Amino acid sequence: MKKITIIFLLLFGATAVQAQDKSNKLPYNDPEFHGEIGRTYKDSEMDWPDFPEPKEGAPNVIVIMLDDVGFGMTSTFGGSVPTPHLDSLAAQGLRYNRFHTTAICGPTRAALLTGRNHHNAATGFLAEWATGYPSYNTLIPRSTATMGKVLKYNGMNTSWFGKNHNTPDWETSAAGPFDRWPTGLGFDYFYGFNAGETDQYNPVIFENTLPVEPETTPEEGYHFMTDMTDRAISWLHSQKSLAPDKPVFMYFAPGAIHAPHHTPKEWRDKFKGKFDHGWDREREIIYARQKEMGVIPADAKLSPRNENIDTWASLSDDEKKFYTLLQENYAGFMAFTDHEIGRLLQTIGELPDADNTLVIYIVGDNGASTEGGLEGTLNEIKALNGIQSKLADNLKKADEIGEPGSEPHIPVGWGMAANTPFPWAKQVASHFGGSRNPMVVSWPKVIEDKGTIRSQFLHVIDVMPTILEATGMEAPAYVDGVQQKPLDGKSFLTTLTDKDAPEIRKTQYFEILSNRALYHDGWVAAHQHTLPWRQDIAPGYENETWELYNIKEDFSEAVNVADQYPEKLEELKAMWEEEAKKNHVYPLDDRGAARLSVPKPSLTEGRTSFTFYEGATRIPETVAPNTKNTSWSMEAMLETAAGNKDGVVNAIGGSSAGYVLYVQDGYPTFLYNFFQDEITTIKSTKKLPDGLASLKVDFQYDGGGRGKGGVFTLYMNNEKVGETRVDATVPARFGIDTFGIGEDTGSPVTTNYAAPFVFQGKIAEVNIELEE
């Protein structure tokens, strides 16, 4: 029987791990031999070495982190989406209503794993947007060892399921290096994807460092959320079958509910008609419910509605219809995710040491996302390339929302509503709509006042120190011979047994894409800088406006008091500068989509000529030849026999965008997918002949900037067999799918064939040339 559980285990008052080597470094030295060595075994005395093991009584630790969930999304915190399993966990534990993230996924996860502020962990922003500065290269330093590594070296078995957005994508190919993969970061077992998101129906999965394909298809009911939950349950069962008394650590990080919002039909159907009242009324409903539940203070105000969003009443009937469908699908994804996590939690509840298992369930790595744009989208990769979708185009595909092949994302209005009662959203680190996420902690053995709320100001960097204290471990001074940076976080373990425990932090800075804030002793200075849905705009740094909030009296950042307290604002702005220098925040960079095109370290760096062979698959886009914004050609040398000619020769990208050269019914075909808006196809006028043959695609780029058009020409044995023009090309990224020879893995570039559509013949080589 399959069950799902996510637990973050903290053991109150545990003492330090006992080991032969008590030095403050990891791994420990090999233990000394204390027996006797004689000439033969008869006059010798054995002594088995003692290796590190968790202190007696140390708990299981299971950390759950969801993706892109707003403070006001779940029923546990007053939202309109029923989350009965999260509700149940909160009833057995504690709800935290002043817990904070960095406001974006990769940085939040780096801070969680290392216990350091995200800039100190080299993750000032996301890997796809990385730049060559120490705080923004996304290469987590060896001087900031993860909790996984510390726990592993102290004798705990460790695992990671789901999303890994902390390995630079140029390091996620079969050539590695693997020291920044989960297995190199201290996790014994990994099952998940190495990207900011994945297609939930056709995911790009790795088991440890090896690519694997789902065992079933979307048509057979496959969904990655279910798959990863099954794997996590299986791992727990295996661990506790073999060593029932040994505590384990699991990091369970679904890609849900990040876009693409892939929701099984039965789950999105549950919300039909539930949001017809619109996003303005939805904010009011959530706000009233939160006050009634005590999730927010009775005197908390509802933050002003964002002026960038149209009122629901002003929308056309078509707009209301489409936006409501997107929201029903989004809500269904959250409910489905809660269902799957419920299976895991049930498994944890049945463990022999369930009462000594602490769950730290962080409900989102940032606030709800508004990256779908003001009108929502069925292709969120397009939006991240700085190109906005049009309502008319979206309405044509409304029936595809949540289905395989779709890439849906809610409009800004619904994203803001999910962050009720706070202003703004994901990416906007200046305001709590981006950075305040719910957290639920359960530890039956320790927590006595179950079902209550904690309101201490906490940050995601505080999780690792809490786990170390709970398991009786210390932060090491050296790991793998490298001196460690001190932890920036502090343990909040005292809050588990004392609702009035003193605050552990007076000051915390925030910065993402130049959106900045400084919290200090009940005050917040905030500068909102960029619009999450406009990756094409870099505002610059002139005439910046800062706001000031007294959150001791204004829980939800509803009243800007900058004019009343100008000196306090200047004091906090100066403190932000101090914190920025101390935590290596500079240089600020507000470029959005433009940073996607900044050259990254790559196996392809400086190369314009490439040769690939059969079997070269699952190659990340940043390691593949960059055919964007330039002229290029691809020539494949093939050998086929009659009746065995079909299949993919070369593909990159997926349903969101990409290109593919394939043979179908004997006819060579080249297809270019421009964000599903324009599907350009060249079908050869002649069939592929038996025996040896060459296929060549030549692209002549118009030039004049990024994303311009050009002419594709298809050749077979040096004879032109097709030609067409495209008016635009993908300027930055095809998405999160990969490059491959001989098959189209993951989400397929086109539905003209059933992926992976493995090539039936032999591919001697594929040569790609880029114009210098």
R_g (Cα) of the chain, nearest Å: 27
SS3 of residue 750 by DSSP: coil
DSSP code of residue 501: P
Q: How many residues does the chain have?
A: 772
Listed in order, the ranges of the chain carrying CATH 2.60.120.200 are: 606-770
Higher-scoring residue by pLDDT: 389, 344: 344
Listed in order, the ranges of the chain carrying CATH 3.30.1120.10 are: 507-596
22-31, 81-90, 464-473, 742-751: least confidently modelled range: 22-31
User: Residue 7 pLDDT more than 80?
Assistant: no
3-state secondary structure 32-97: CCCCECCCCHHHCECCCCCCCCCCCCCCEEEEEECCCCCCCCEHHHCCCECCHHHHHHHHHCEEEC
DSSP 301-368: PPPPPPTTSPPGGGS-HHHHHHHHHHHHHHHHHHHHHHHHHHHHHHHHHTSTTGGGEEEEEES-SSS-
In this structure, what token pair is assigned to residue 660?
């593919």
Dihedral pair phi/psi, residue 426, rounded to 5°: -45, 145
Listed in order, the ranges of the chain carrying CATH 3.40.720.10 are: 60-496
SS3 of residue 160 by DSSP: strand
Higher-scoring residue by pLDDT: 536, 70: 70
Q: 507-596 has which fold? A: Arylsulfatase, C-terminal domain (3.30.1120)
pLDDT, one tens digit per residue, over 174-231 is 889 999 999 999 999 999 999 999 999 999 999 999 999 999 999 999 999 999 999 9
Dihedral pair phi/psi, residue 209, rounded to 5°: -120, 10
Containing 432, the helix (H) or strand (E) segment is helix 432-435
- Domain 60-496, CATH: 3.40.720.10
SS3 of residue 107 by DSSP: helix
The reported pTM is 0.93
SS3 of residue 237 by DSSP: helix
481: left (phi over 0), alpha (psi -120 to 50) or beta: left
Confidence label for 464 from pLDDT (cuts 50, 70 and 90): very high
In this structure, what token pair is assigned to residue 747?
């989400």
Q: 606-770 has which fold? A: Jelly Rolls (2.60.120)
H and E: helices and strands count for the chain: 13, 30
Supply the pLDDT for residue 4: 39
pLDDT, one tens digit per residue, over 372-430 is 989 999 988 887 787 877 788 888 889 999 999 899 999 999 999 999 999 999 999 99
Dihedral pair phi/psi, residue 598, rounded to 5°: -65, 130
Instruction: Return d(Cα 356, Cα 442) in angstroms, integer.
Output: 10
Instruction: Return the residue matching tokens 């969904």.
Output: 223
Torsion angle of C-alpha atoms 453, 459, 464, 468, degrees rounded to 10:
-50
Supply the pLDDT for residue 594: 87
Angle between helices 317-349 and 224-242 (to 10 degrees): 10
pLDDT, one tens digit per residue, over 133-180 is 999 999 999 999 999 999 999 999 999 999 999 999 889 988 899 999
pLDDT, one tens digit per residue, over 110-136 is 999 999 999 999 999 999 899 999 999
Mean pLDDT in the chain? Answer: 94
pLDDT, one tens digit per residue, over 674-699 is 998 899 999 999 999 999 999 999 99
Supply the pLDDT for residue 22: 56
